[in-house]
Amino acid sequence: MTQYKKRAVLIALSLTLITVFIVLLTLLTPEIPVCPETTGTIERTEFYEDQNGNWIREDLSWNIGKDISAIRITDLNDLNRIATVNYVPDRFVVPGTLPQDAAIVPLDQTFDFASCGTLILCVLSPDPFANDFTAQAEALDRYKIGDYWTFSLLIPSVFNASNIYYDNQLVACNGEIENYEFIRFNTSDDRVTVEHRAQTEPIRITLKFYTRREALSDHYITIHYQSNGTLSGIGDMPLIGTESRILSVQKQAPVVFLVALILCAMTLAVLLVLSALKQSSLFLPEIGIVAATFLLFLSGYCLASSTSTPLWHTALQAATPLIVSGAAALSVARRFDKTFRIPVLIGSLLGFAAAFSSPYLPFSAAAVMRHIALSLQIVNLLAILVFSLFPQSKRTPPPRFLNIICALSVAGAVTAGLFLKRPAVALSDPALWLLLFSAATVFVVVLSVFAKTERENAYITANLNAEVERQIKDVKAVIAERDNLLQFVSHDLKKPLRSGETHLNTLLERETDAEQIKLLNIVKQNNARVLSNLTEIASYAKFNYIAEPSCPTDLNKLCQRLYRLCAEDCNAAGITLCNLVGESVKVFAKPQGLENALTNLIFNAIEHAACTEIVISARTEKNKVLLTVKDNGKGIDPAIDIFRPYVSENKPDEGGLGLYLCKNIVESMNGTLTYVSEDGAAFTVSLLRA
């Protein structure tokens, strides 16, 4: 299966699993039912003071569902959502009263709240005049505590300062409303707040309804709010139900976000430390994923608990998914040129800016910015799929499968956040789990890469001494070759000069012509002078062969060439030369140096071994090749160290540098030269196999 097909299968399988996970979590999570709006009328008698100081009685009536929105406790379950609220813009209504100009606002839709105003929740007791009142009262017995039917109401964040009243009693203050006189709404409090101060926090209120039929009463939750930004009013649907269920929902969200926040912070810290220690920018996209996820969970935690910067965290929560998806796209786009990656980066930053600015802009402008951010988010999601599936450049390795899985998890989380309603129960949010999974995947990817690098570094460190010794040995070999060059040249040139001297002496003995004798003597003197100079050079210069680099060398070809060079000399001396190196075996060697060393071994056997046969053979042992030059001559005295300079079985002054040079040449290739004297002499060259 090709790499492309493997990626296609992986992407299809990952998308299938992510989709199944989202669908199953959504279906298996029970939806919190919306409390139905009750029917009937609300009749109240209110008294107010006119300009003359006279108290006037007024009988008022509202049709539920038309004039005002209200719920009745007989319609409640253990946990319910309130989907509508009564809204009065631009003024603060006296708590416990119902204004005639209130509008019914649905909370499951986007609504343009005024910068300040009043929200009223009406929770009614059972109708005392209902024919089935007794049955209704018995059904409410499970909510009865003492003489009261008791429920808890959870009011979500109200942007971005609010005072909340239970009937006519002040029960909560979040932030401060500008120029707000409490005494106008609550006679027991004479405070005045002059400047606006933002703060949001979910507020839980306990609602108690007296169970006696003749003393039943309704409750009204009045919320005065003020915002210093475009985002105003209530941020989500209130919840009402039993105390245990409401407490569970209220406490779960901050705890879940806090745990996720800590995990992301730990992951981010490890990634930053590793990248700093290794001075690597390779994993900047992955760090971007975790950092943006961290900010997303941070804003979620602050909004679920308490914050003095609610607009900031709301903007951050809307904008960070653009960074998460953009970083995920870049993490799988390393094979693509900058012409593809830079537009994704720029688009993500523009989308972030658009989404971040929306809570601060007017309602119509904010809607435009949200549409721009949504469009750029969809582009990022498509980029993740394209970059994961299609290769573009072969200069860099393809993205790791874990990188692809991480990017697709981010895509699934972002898609779920865009098109699914956020559940009231945090643990039921598929986007949260997918983002946590992607952060964990990033951690595994980066840690595995750095662990692999550490293993490689540990191996290099463990073998550092051996590597240093090898390099020192190579340097010494080069220096030795340089210092011994003149000795090597002088040794080889002496032989033909001495042979020429012998021939000159023979010619002088046979020559009778005086003029010819004079010329021959001149040649003899010059020859002697050269020999003398070479002797002086050899006295101070050490052997140094040409610093030839080692490379893979075919022994079969080298030995065939060696056979052609030496066969005639062997035949002239009555010696049979056999080349048994038949297989093509490669070694790390200096080809010219190895050829000269073997030539020297063969000619030493011709001159000194008194043999009739010389055999060249080779065999392998593990990672080495052993090349042997063996003769059937007289052998070598074991007491003599033949590899020392100028050592010979003959007189000391007749010794030379031949075997000494051979050993140095072989050792300069990280090889060894040894010999055994049994049924003649066998010299073995050991070299590393290539």
- In this structure, are 193 and 287 located in the same domain? no
Q: What is the number of other CB atoms lying within 10 angstroms of the CB of residue 555?
A: 23
Q: Could you tell me if 401 and 516 lie in one domain?
A: no
69 and 96: one domain?
Answer: yes
Kindly state whether residues 535 and 569 are assigned to the same domain: no
480 domain residue, yes or no: no
195 domain-assigned:
yes
Whether 475 is in a domain gets the answer no
CB 480 within 8 A of CB 665: no
Which band of pLDDT confidence, cut at 50, 70 and 90, is reported for residue 49?
low
Residue 416 lies in a domain: yes
Domain membership of residue 476 (yes or no) is no
Task: Choose one of 195, 217, 241: the last residue of a domain.
Answer: 241
Q: What's the pLDDT tens digit per position in 82-111?
A: 999 999 999 999 898 888 889 999 998 888
Q: Residues 214, 106: one domain?
A: yes
Element (H, E) at 445: helix 430-462
Q: Which residue matches tokens 């209220």?
A: 250
- pLDDT of 368-394, one tens digit each? 999 999 999 999 999 988 888 776 555
pLDDT of 656 over the 80 cut: no
pLDDT the model gives residue 487: 61
Indicate whether 280 pLDDT > 80. Answer: no
Same domain for 650 and 501, yes or no, is no
Residue 475: predicted pLDDT: 73
Provide the CATH number for the domain around residue 679: 3.30.565.10
Tell me the residue range of the domain where 25 lies: 3-29+256-459
Q: What pLDDT score does 66 carry? A: 87
Burial class (CB in 10 A: 0-12, 13-18, 19+), 1: exposed
- Domain annotation covers residue 514: yes
| 496 and 604 share one domain | no
DSSP per residue, 94-151: PTT---TT-EEEETTS-----SEEEEEEEEEPP-TT-TTHHHHHHHTGGGEETTEEEE
582 and 608 assigned to the same domain: yes
CB 683 within 8 A of CB 635: no
Residues 209 and 317 both lie in one domain? no
Is residue 474, in this structure, part of any structural domain at all?
no
What pLDDT does 375 receive?
93
Round to whole Å and give the CA distance between 40 and 67. 11
| Count of Cβ atoms closer than 10 Å to residue 652 Cβ | 8
The pTM score is: 0.64
Domain boundary at 520, 541, 562, which? Answer: 541
pLDDT at 546: 52
Q: Is the pLDDT of residue 339 over 80?
A: yes
Contacts of 512 (CB under 8 A, 6+ apart): none
For residue 484, CA distances in Å to 185, 195, 547, 642, 654 come to 108, 94, 11, 18, 20
Q: Are residues 518 and 637 in the same domain?
A: no
Q: What is the 3-state secondary structure (H, E, C) of 652-672?
A: HHHCECHHHHHHHHHHCCCCE
Q: Does residue 541 sit in helix, strand or coil? A: coil
Find the range with the poorest average confidence among 363-367, 460-464, 574-578.
Answer: 460-464
Q: Are residues 204 and 300 in the same domain?
A: no
pLDDT tens digits for range 290-327: 999 999 999 999 999 999 999 999 999 999 999 999 99
Cβ atoms of residues 429 and 446 within 8 Å: no
- Let me know if residue 592 belongs to a domain: yes
Q: How far is CA 40 from CA 54, 67, 376, 478, in A?
A: 32, 11, 48, 106
Q: How many domains does the chain have?
A: 4
Same domain, 229 and 263: no
Average pLDDT for 19-44: 87
State both tokens at 180: 């707000």
Q: How sure is the predictor about 155, in pLDDT bands with cuts at 50, 70 and 90?
A: very high
